[in-house]
Amino acid sequence: MVRSVSLNGGEPADVPDSAGFVLANVGPWITDQLDGGTRTSGELRNVVTGQRLAWTANRRIQYLRCGPTWCTGRGSVDRVALQSLDGSDLVELPWTGELSPMNGGRLAVGQLEFPTATLHLIWDRTTGRAAGVKVPRPEGGPGYGWNNQLSDWEPEVLTVRSSDDELVVLDLGAIR
């Protein structure tokens, strides 16, 4: 069950008909993708407007996670894959990693893994433009990741540690 609290305060209240749902990566949406992305179809709901959207996994994608405009998951050989909500428009990137929808689904934010580095990426899907910070990966270990694991599902600011001495702050709201 998903619960909400008014911005004016008060007691938390159950969101009607939200049993079996969790927060999606794009607010104010909830999703029934509870099981680690192994389902092949389901629903997204906007808790503010009540809008409902169906999603269907393309048969070539595993571990699908959807926002209101597109879905991401793993394609062949654990490569990053994107699709439309209905399973069409499949795009498999030639890298492993993870992307998540942010800013209403306009942005794809995440990381792509290369043999010696991790690329922290922000891709504006409406303009096709992308920017990233490529961080060398220590031999035998993971690179530095986004510093938002314990933060908001849809943060306004991302931080990435590009070295032990440098922290880069990325303001997603500044992307126009």
> CA 35, CA 90: separation in Å to the nearest integer?
22
> CA 170, CA 1: separation in Å to the nearest integer?
33
Res. 142: pLDDT tops 60: no
Answer whether 0.85 is exceeded by the pTM.
Answer: no
**Amino acid 154: pLDDT:** 63
CA angle (13, 14, 17) in 5-degree steps: 155
φ, ψ dihedrals at 71, nearest 5°: -130, 155
When the pLDDT of each residue in the chain is averaged and rounded to a whole number, the result is 83
Instruction: Write down the residue that tokens 């990741």 correspond to.
Output: 145
**Residue 167, strand partner residues:** 161
> Could you give the dihedral angle defined by the CA atoms of residues 160, 99, 106 and 6, in that order, rounded to the nearest 10 degrees?
-80
**Amino acid 80: pLDDT:** 93
* DSSP for 27-81, written as a single string: TTEEES--STT--SEEEEEETTT--EEEEE--TT-EEEEE-SS-EEEE-GGGEEE
Q: What residues contact 153, with CB distance under 8 A and at least 6 apart? A: 23, 24, 25, 26, 27
Burial class (CB in 10 A: 0-12, 13-18, 19+), 165: exposed
Res. 12: pLDDT tops 90: yes
Identify which of 140, 138, 134 has the alpha carbon closest to the alpha carbon of residue 162.
Answer: 134
> Does residue 153 sit in helix, strand or coil?
coil
> CA 70, CA 74: separation in Å to the nearest integer?
14
User: 69-92 pLDDT, tens per residue?
Assistant: 899 899 988 899 999 999 999 999
